[in-house]
């Protein structure tokens, strides 16, 4: 490796694995009880209806068991909610974030500069939101989209300024707190996140991005994303996440709700690089009306354990859903991901393409569900799961589950698990590549279906993250 290449690699590693001294304007106590919920709600100056929803979600969380009865589920026994700080408000002057990058405090600005957010905004994005700890610190939307009625703001601002929409959709239709224990936890202490509203017949031609950064040790981040795409509209939302490594664990339990109205199209792309001291437990769900198209593009790197299964309810005739996911597990990691699709109407269509890579004893698992309801005739689904393992210590499992209650449907499933072939490596070495470069080229080809769906800046980032994971340089 040349000195320039070594310098570039060092800079890339530093971009993702760095931490700042903690600085906050308000920090809640550890643990979770009714008083904590009231303190968070009061600090946000929320309306009473949101406080009441939080308190109901808290009650449901306290009554629901941990998901320990799932077959081969990741071990969550180390999670102690009483040791988590659920809410940290960063030290900025403007609640809801500034709209000029230069107005951010130097430590926060430096964090996002290192992550490349300003460059991404200039080159490829319609709008950017950046969350630091529990709240959005920066939010900006290009005027051309604001003039067309597109709304892109943080969720806390949406509660205040778009109350009717939030009250109608927030955790009432797609992800109710009763869905699972961590959805209930999220409903009780959610903070920050994005609100996106796209009016009828509007196409947002450049992606919108939100980036979520946990900086403090032992905290939880619980951002909520709510996207409403009205009839015949289109939008691409990109979510990036990261956190430095600490000795104490961090918890990420976000919530995502997407509403795809008639003939609308939403693509939701995620590139996550949590540190290996983070538990990543998200709940994401979309509801697609007649002719609506939903796409989930997910890259899951990092974390100690991940449980993530984006799901779509195909509610209207002719609605469609597409999942492309990649998961990477190295030493000490258990990445349990998948997809869920509910065909509740005729002529609906879904495709699921899952790619996983495991090395150094890491474990990946595809856990999926496809449900085709009685009466959803002429629907079709195709599921393809491919796993690549580097060694005999690593593990890859596939747990697809299909509930087919209609006979007039097309159903296909294919799964492959294999190691990188010696013949393939030998062939590439005979063309002048060394062993590491040969393996990286094979992996790059393996994950190409997801990288080709991302803007070039994010495809490059995802490939580089995978390379660093293969080298054991992250987290």
Residues 145 and 126: beta-carbon distance below 8 Å: yes
Residues 343 and 313: beta-carbon distance below 8 Å: no
Range of the domain at 298: 3-471
Give residue-wise pLDDT tens across range 296-333: 998 877 789 999 999 999 999 999 999 998 888 888 99
Give residue-wise pLDDT tens across range 234-271: 999 988 766 555 446 788 899 999 999 999 999 998 87
Torsion of CA 311, 459, 418, 74, to 10 degrees: -50
Query: Of 216, 268, 221, nearest to 241 (Cα)?
Result: 221
208 falls in which pLDDT band (50, 70, 90)? confident
- The pLDDT of 273-302, averaged and rounded, is 89
- Name the one residue in this structure whose structure tokens are 């709940």: 283
pLDDT of residue 433: 74
Give residue-wise pLDDT tens across range 324-364: 988 888 889 999 999 999 999 999 999 999 988 888 899 99
pLDDT of residue 417: 72
For residue 262 the two structure tokens come to: 């008639």
By three-state DSSP, how is residue 326 classified? strand
pLDDT of residue 26: 55
Query: Of 299, 33, 287, nearest to 185 (Cα)?
Result: 33
- SS3 helix, strand, coil % of the chain, rounded to 5? 30, 35, 35
- Decide if pLDDT at 27 tops 50: yes
Q: Which of 2-16, 366-380, 450-464 has the lowest mean pLDDT?
A: 2-16
pLDDT of residue 388: 84
Q: In whole angstroms, give the CA distance from residue 221 to residue 85.
A: 9
Element (H, E) at 225: strand 224-229
Residue 427's CB: how many other CB atoms inside 10 A? 12
Q: In whole angstroms, give the CA distance from residue 294 to residue 288.
A: 7
Q: How many domains does the chain have?
A: 1
- Name the one residue in this structure whose structure tokens are 């892109």: 152
- Decide if pLDDT at 387 tops 80: yes
- The residue that leads in pLDDT, 140 or 79, is 79
9 falls in which pLDDT band (50, 70, 90)? very low
Give residue-wise pLDDT tens across range 178-205: 999 999 999 999 988 889 999 999 999 8
Residues 232 and 200: beta-carbon distance below 8 Å: yes
Residue 232's CB: how many other CB atoms inside 10 A? 17
469 falls in which pLDDT band (50, 70, 90)? low
- The pLDDT of 372-390, averaged and rounded, is 94
Share of the chain above pLDDT 70, in %: 71
């Amino acid at each position: 490796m040349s000195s320039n290449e070594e310098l570039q690699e060092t800079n890339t590693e530093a971009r993702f694995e760095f931490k700042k001294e903690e600085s906050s304007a308000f920090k809640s106590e550890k643990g979770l009880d009714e008083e904590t919920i009231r303190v968070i709600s009061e600090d946000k100056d929320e309306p009473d209806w949101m406080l009441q929803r939080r308190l109901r979600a808290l009650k449901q969380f306290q009554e629901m068991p941990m998901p320990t009865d799932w077959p081969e589920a990741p071990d969550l026994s180390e999670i102690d909610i009483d040791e988590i700080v659920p809410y940290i408000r960063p030290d900025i002057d403007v609640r809801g974030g500034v709209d000029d990058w230069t107005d951010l405090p130097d430590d926060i600005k430096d964090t996002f500069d290192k992550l490349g957010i300003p460059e991404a905004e200039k080159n490829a994005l319609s709008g950017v939101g950046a969350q630091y700890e529990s709240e959005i610190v920066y939010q900006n939307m290009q005027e051309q989209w604001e003039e067309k009625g597109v709304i892109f703001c943080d969720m806390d601002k949406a509660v205040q300024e778009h109350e009717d929409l939030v009250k109608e959709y927030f955790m009432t239709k797609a992800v109710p707190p009763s869905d699972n224990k961590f959805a209930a936890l999220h409903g009780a202490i959610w903070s920050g996140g994005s609100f996106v509203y796209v009016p009828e017949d509007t196409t947002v031609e450049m992606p919108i991005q939100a980036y979520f950064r946990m900086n403090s040790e032992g905290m939880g981040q619980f951002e909520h994303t709510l996207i409403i795409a009205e009839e015949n509209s289109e939008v691409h939302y990109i979510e990036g996440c990261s956190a430095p490594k600490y000795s104490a664990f961090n918890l990420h339990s976000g919530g995502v709700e997407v509403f795809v109205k008639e003939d609308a199209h939403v693509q939701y792309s995620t590139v996550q690089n949590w540190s290996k001291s983070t538990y990543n437990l998200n709940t994401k769900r979309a509801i697609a009306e007649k002719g609506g198209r939903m796409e989930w593009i997910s890259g899951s790197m990092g974390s100690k354990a991940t449980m993530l299964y984006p799901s779509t309810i195909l509610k209207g005739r002719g609605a469609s859903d597409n999942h492309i996911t990649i998961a990477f597990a190295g030493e000490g990691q258990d990445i349990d991901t998948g997809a869920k699709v509910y065909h509740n109407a005729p002529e609906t269509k879904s495709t699921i393409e899952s790619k996983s890579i495991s090395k150094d004893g890491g474990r990946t698992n595809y856990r999926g569900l496809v449900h085709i309801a009685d009466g959803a005739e002429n629907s079709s689904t195709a599921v393809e799961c491919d796993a690549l393992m580097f060694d005999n210590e690593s593990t890859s499992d596939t747990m697809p589950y299909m509930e087919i209650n209609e006979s007039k449907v097309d159903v296909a499933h294919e799964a492959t698990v294999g190691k990188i072939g010696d013949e393939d490596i030998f062939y590439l070495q005979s063309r002048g590549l060394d062993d590491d470069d040969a393996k990286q080229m094979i992996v790059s080809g393996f994950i190409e279906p997801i990288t080709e769906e991302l803007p070039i800046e994010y495809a490059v980032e995802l490939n580089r993250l995978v390379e660093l994971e293969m080298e054991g340089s992250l987290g």
